[in-house]
Amino acid sequence: MGSVAHLDVLPSPRGGGGIGARMKLSLVDVLLAEPEPRHCAMETLRWLERHAGVERAVCAVVDPDGGRLAGLTGLGVPSAAVEAFSLELNDRTHPLVVALAGNEPIAFHDSGQTLPRPFETPLGKAAFHAVPLGSSQQEMGPGLLLLSGVGDGPVNDDVLWAAALLGTRLAALGYRRVQADERRHKRERSLLLAVIHAVTDPILLTDADGRILIANAGAETLLTAGEEKREGWRHAVALNNMLFSASLFTAESGPTRRELLLVDPSEGKELLFEVLSSPVAIRTGENGIVSVLRNVTDLRRATEEIEENYRRQRLAEAATRAERDRLDLILNSVLEPILVTDPSGNIVRMNPPAERMFTLPGRGESRDGHPAQKDRALRDGEIERRVQANDAVFTSFVSNLYAGQSLRWRGELNLIDPKTGASIPVEAISGRLVSKHGEETAVVTILHDLTEAMEKARLYEQVKRHSEELREKVREATAELAGQNELLRRQALELEQASALKSQFLANVSHELRTPLNAIMGYTHLMLEGVSGAVNPAQQDKLTRVDANARHLLAVINDLLDITRIESGKMPVQAERILLSDLIDEVMTEVEPVIAGTRLAVTRDLPPDLPEIETDRQKVKQIVINLLSNALKFTPAGSVGIRLEHHWPAGEISIAVTDTGIGIAEENQKTIFEAFEQANSSYARRQGGTGLGLTICRRLASLLDGRIALASRLGEGSTFTLFLPAKSRTA
């Protein structure tokens, strides 16, 4: 055993198991119901695979004659390899024999290199654990589990538990336990014999030829008869021997359980026995069979019934369990509280949402990390009170159902959130569960949280009200708008009428002013012409002044009339295709007398390829004459120039009139286009301006879809530029 030191022995302490009792119970159930050792072993290995992470495994058992350890079944291992796996128990230094004899799990990290002697297992060279199938320290188990995949450390308690359970079950199924040492073997052999003899059920060991090697009293009664027995007895014993021997034939390959009809030699009655036979190794190379007979003559029926009942019950239990599990799953997956009450009104089942409403949270759990004991006590008290209130409300509701006859009951309850104290309106729907026999079994209640629904209804009402208000407002606004429109229409009409009246008025004023003006100018002219006799130079001078003032007054009247006509839309645009160079010629001709009266240099700058434009000739002419007259008027010395340009791509044409005159201060440049605005009024009056020229120009330009721009510096001169489109929109 010194070689053990070289082995990687990992004894206790072992890791604790984590497998639940239910899972363990399931393995127990399976093994108890399974009479076939190989299947038991396989079930255990699968269970370990599922719950303990075992990847590959072999279950090896000591063969019936106790001489060998042989593969019984495997998991993830070829069955041929399992069958081929075998080793002599006499080989006491074999590491697996050591493991089996020591009844302690051993971890083999690398079976090929670090072991004192190499050996092979069906698991190959992977690390594995050898776990004996024993439950006690005294006895060797009936075999070993070789497990790979349970980790490097010691195997945990769950694995040991499973191994022990399998060991116990295999032992129960007839696998002998191998005694650890011979002394104990001998002592226990005699003990065993004593036990065997003490058992009232017939027990016997037969050799390969069916000869009885050991038999207890019960067996001897049935199968042996001295010469002193009467003949009938001896016949009966002979018959029993024949029957028994014949039945043994089937037991040679492995443990069997069968029924055997024998004769009671003393009374000649038929007896039914249950015979459990297991092959055992008597000595190397020779097998015998141990048989235990159990008189089941009287018990047979009862046993059968019990078995049948037991089977049914187990099935029913399994079904119930599955049903309950399924129900739990369903209940727990529902987000709404569900409660099941028994006929006396006690709550017997709740899902987690219901638990939050009707149970106190666990005392042990720390909530919100709140350490203050007093606060928690206060809060717990509060929570308890709320839970009790909920319970009272619920109980009262359910009692309605029990009082009435209907199978379903619906109502609205007011519960309290135990944690926050918030009111939770719920709709409760209860249904009675009635068994086939009309017996009331339970009431199931589902609580539907109405908070959201009520909030929605409230919001809907609010939205509806707002929408109504909005509609009313829109209605009012529409009415108001209609009123305003009517007012505007009337005002527009009035304005139109007023405008027409104004135009008419101005036309009349113009007429009434022109008539006396005609007289003034006419008489002045008559005198100047000498119609009424010669006038002296002084008189002529004064008459000339009268004439000039009359002319100025006439110009003002004409301008006013123009503005009025433009404003009232009575200045129609008469567009035609014109060549601006021709038009400039006409303007120059007309202004020539004025130019002649100055000492200014007047220049013209016209590009040679000016295109025709479509516009109102008369109005353009009026504008240009006006701009040119202004330039001449307000330029005491220097020059005046007209410059035409064609602007691509829009085809716009500009006519710029530039002078070196008095210029216009920046602050006056904006207002200069307004009526009666002249930058320097006294000077302008001296120049005979009406104060309306630029106003008319700008309005005429806009009539033609054009515009007038001004660039000027006081004392340096001004440039007025008329921009005209290639084609007037109004044309």
Interacting residues toward another protein by CB under 8 A:
507, 510-512, 514-515, 517-523, 525-526, 529, 531-532, 550, 554, 557-558, 561, 565, 570
**Least distance (Å) between residue 565 CB and another protein:** 7
The CA angle 546-636-521, to the nearest 5 degrees, is 15
Scan for tokens 């190959």, then name that residue: 124
**Least distance (Å) between residue 516 CB and another protein:** 8
Nearer to another protein, 224 or 622 (CB): 622
Q: Could you tell me if residue 121 is left (phi over 0), alpha (psi between -120 and 50 degrees) or otherwise beta? A: beta
Nearer to another protein, 513 or 606 (CB): 513
Encoding tokens for residue 704?
Answer: 């033609």
**Least distance (Å) between residue 519 CB and another protein:** 4
**Least distance (Å) between residue 590 CB and another protein:** 16
Q: What is the 3-class SS of 356-368, one letter each residue?
A: HHHCCCCCCCCCC
**Least distance (Å) between residue 543 CB and another protein:** 13
Nearer to another protein, 540 or 598 (CB): 540
Scan for tokens 């291992």, then name that residue: 77
Nearer to another protein, 448 or 565 (CB): 565
Nearer to another protein, 101 or 517 (CB): 517
Encoding tokens for residue 724?
Answer: 């005209």
**Least distance (Å) between residue 550 CB and another protein:** 7
**Least distance (Å) between residue 548 CB and another protein:** 13
Q: Which amino acid is at 127?
A: A
**Least distance (Å) between residue 696 CB and another protein:** 14
Please confirm whether the linkage preceding 13 is cis (ω < 30° from 0).
yes
CA 523/CA 519 separation, integer angstroms: 6
Nearer to another protein, 562 or 659 (CB): 562
**Least distance (Å) between residue 718 CB and another protein:** 30
**Least distance (Å) between residue 569 CB and another protein:** 13
Nearer to another protein, 199 or 513 (CB): 513
Nearest CA to 652 out of 702, 727, 711 is that of 727
Please name every residue paired with 677 in a beta bridge, in sequence order, or none if there are none: none
**Least distance (Å) between residue 561 CB and another protein:** 5
Q: Burial letters for 459-495: b for 16+ Cβ neighbours within 10 Å, e otherwise?
A: eeeeeeeeeeeeeeeeeeeeeeeeeeeeeeeeeeeee
CA 201/CA 219 separation, integer angstroms: 8
Nearer to another protein, 238 or 517 (CB): 517
**Least distance (Å) between residue 511 CB and another protein:** 5
Nearer to another protein, 464 or 511 (CB): 511
**Least distance (Å) between residue 721 CB and another protein:** 29
Nearer to another protein, 522 or 569 (CB): 522
Nearer to another protein, 523 or 683 (CB): 523
Scan for tokens 């319970």, then name that residue: 391
CA 299/CA 308 separation, integer angstroms: 14
Nearer to another protein, 379 or 565 (CB): 565
User: Is beta strand 423-434 parallel, antiparallel or unpaired with respect to 575-578?
Assistant: unpaired
**Least distance (Å) between residue 514 CB and another protein:** 4
Encoding tokens for residue 619?
Answer: 């109005």
CA 603/CA 597 separation, integer angstroms: 16
Nearer to another protein, 426 or 561 (CB): 561
**Least distance (Å) between residue 663 CB and another protein:** 34
Extract long-range pairs of 462-470: CB within 8 Å, 24+ residues apart: none
Nearer to another protein, 557 or 587 (CB): 557
- Cα–Cα distances in Å, from 263 out to 234, 240, 259, 290, 638? 11, 6, 13, 20, 162
Q: What is the 3-class SS of 90-133, one letter each residue?
A: CCCCCHHHHHHHHCCCEEECCCCCCCCCCCCCCCCCCCEEEEEC
Is residue 663 classed as helix, strand or coil in its secondary structure? coil
Nearer to another protein, 29 or 496 (CB): 496
Nearer to another protein, 655 or 692 (CB): 692
Are the C-beta atoms of 571 and 561 separated by less than 8 Å?
A: no
**Least distance (Å) between residue 652 CB and another protein:** 29
Q: What is the 3-class SS of 265-323, one letter each residue?
A: CCCCCEEEEEEEEEEEEEECCEEEEEEEEEECCCHHHHHHHHHHHHHHHHHHHHHHHHH
- Cα–Cα distances in Å, from 121 out to 83, 96, 108, 353? 11, 10, 11, 54
Are the C-beta atoms of 74 and 61 separated by less than 8 Å?
A: no
Encoding tokens for residue 126?
Answer: 């992977």
Please confirm whether the linkage preceding 649 is cis (ω < 30° from 0).
yes
**Least distance (Å) between residue 530 CB and another protein:** 8
Burial of 115 (0-12, 13-18, 19+ CB in 10 A): middle
Are the C-beta atoms of 418 and 424 separated by less than 8 Å?
A: no
Nearer to another protein, 557 or 708 (CB): 557
How many helices (H) and strands (E) the chain has is answered by: 17, 23
Burial of 541 (0-12, 13-18, 19+ CB in 10 A): exposed
